[in-house]
Chains A and B, each alone.
Chain A
Amino acid sequence: MTAAGWSGRRLRRRLARAALGALGGSVLAFLVVPVLSVIPMSFSSSMVFELVPTAPGLTQYRRFFASPEWMLALGRSVQVALGTTVVATALGTLAALGLVRVQSRWRSVLEAALISSRIVPSIVFAVAAYFVFSQVGLVGTVAGLVLAHSVLAFPFVVVLVSSALYGFDRSLEEASRSLGAGSIRTFFRITFPQIRLAVFGGALFAFNVSFDEVVVTLFISGVHSKTLPVKVWDAILYEITPILPAISTIIIVASILLLTPLLLYRRRS
């Protein structure tokens, strides 16, 4: 091969790599930049949207925290998300503990059943829940929202906790039991310490799923128990308010704070 041919080939390779990097980098930027662009907008004190606020300030945040209506929605969201966290984490952990004990081919069927609520389109579950809940007086109640959100959140707990359980040496449980500890004692002294982090991660996920849920909540929250996302939805459709970037930023930051421990945990394992 001649020197010129060799360097030509190298140049072509470099160009191809640069093109790939530029294209791949742009797609990654496309994923992350738009959503983050709302953060600078939230510091605007004017009535129109600005990428770089001319007079940056916390006006919109103050308006949000001073508004009884928005505070009511925020309170409702936190209430529902906490309830969902408890219900989904408890049920999801039980389901995961049961799931890993099933050894036959039934396990994959069971697993599919347990995570099926993530596959069904939310609008379908929304209409179904709305119809049934309205007959038993659950529409517009915190209990109704917690139950519906738990259906959507609990697969995350099942997946996280069951994968922690698969990686855990079951012979420790047998050893504990053969030494005379009962099932309950074995669970709290041996099993739970091993899956603690996964349960915690599942709880964070459950909170996040509930806190962000819109479609099902739109149907079953009723007029008087709107959560923060439903109130945001109404505001997007019916009024133009510069408060929305600030609220969006709060929602984004809340999710990132919830997810950070989870990402650190995933990296460790």
Chain B
Amino acid sequence: MIGAARSVLRRGFEWIERPFDALFGPALNPVAQLGALGFFFFWIVAVSGVYLFIFFDTGIERAYASVEHLTSYHWFHAGAMRSLHRYASDLMVVMVVVHLLREFAYGHYRGVRWFSWLTGLPIIWLLYASGITGYWLVWDKLAQYVAITSSELLDWLPIFGEPIARNFISTGTLTSRFFTLMVFMHVAVPLFLLFIMWVHILRISRPKVNPPRMLAAMSLVALLGVSLWKPALSQGHVDLAKAPAEVGLDWFFLPLYPLTDIWGKGAVWAFLGAFSLMIGLMPWLPPLRRAKPAEVDLAHCNGCARCAEDCPYEAIRMVPRSDGMPFPVQAQVNSSLCVACGICVGACPSSTPFRRSEELRTGIDLPDYSLRELRERVVACAATLTGSSRVLVLACERGAGAARATGTVVMPCVAMAPPSLIDFILSRNLADGVMVSGCPENACYNRLGVAWSEQRFAGVRDPHLRARVARSRLATIWASKFETKRLEREITSFRAGLAQLPPLKRNPLTASMISIAATADRRTPEEVGG
């Protein structure tokens, strides 16, 4: 059931993201910058909040008057800040909710990612607590509604001796000290929220906490425009002798409040508890079977740190050398963080399939899918290719090429393939062209696989694809598993382009390679065929 929901959501996101990709380009697509935009809106809320605090008076009678004063008489700066403060908070809720749904849709919450997923849960609670305490401070009719409903919800829990809600149903029971407490809460809770946001990204390598400047600038200008077009206004002074019967509700922060009237408070708490429990358990439902983590072979590791640099999970760190070799450091894998994506294998300068040794070894390798096995699969798969424009597809197991039946070698992530593998395929005439098929650019399962592959091919990231490799014989496609038709179209078009090129110079395989090619029995079903 979880898988079906994920699949439907994923299709939905891809349906939304493709037009956004077309308009914004992968780098600026806001749907792929949800976490970074969440941080961005937090900072807008923080700065505007500090500014508003200059004008805010915490007295019970003066709170409303001070907010009205800044909204009416200082609309062009403080009033605009109030609107920025409010709408940026709402946008942060939108970013958090859509971010959660997207990470769920793309399966970015299981395995080693449990930590970020789980620490996202208190972020939701704290974000809502921050917003609700903020609405309280305005002390208008909406604040009265929020105060009564929130305290009724809290009173349902058997914690307080005297119902808190009694403070808000008759005059003379509330003091200015209460507002001082609420201001403290409205400052302390967001500070704690920021701390948890930091914890949330602790285990992420190169977290995106700032959106691209162009996107940030457009968002800020648009937010300012919306703030001037529809300024945030109060809804009339609190009158405790009257019920706040009708209010303009903020549906981003307060969607559950009407449910307290429809379902009852117990049911709302049950819903919140069930939601939190479900979110908390999801990374382990069902338990994930993990591949064996990468292993370092010190005899082939020179401590260059490229693997540690490229690992998206911060699972590799450099430690002092332990084998007496004349290098200061060596790679060390934290097996609890490694997902066996193989990106480190592709980053290692020792990962070259040109090696003629009987046992192909590299500095860091996957026990379940070694570089040697990858070379064997490539050689075996190439032997099945026929025709004049032979295309060998190196495919990510989560992208469009994963289910392809022929001429395809599948791996955990395309960045597992070292650039020298492409050089090897073309220089040994194993194929006329290589198509690298990975996840969509903004939805790489291993976050950085697509980016690292592109940078290696472009020669801006080590290890580079050698200049001698004809770029016309290499094509990339970043497409999801739902875009198989697009992949086939791209392959057909690539083949047509290859047909225009002169034939490859033939460099025969060495004897050891030929013997490897003969081991066709090791091929997986996907690789068999022409």
The answer on A and B forming one complex is: no
Which A residues form the contact surface with B (CB < 8 A)?
none
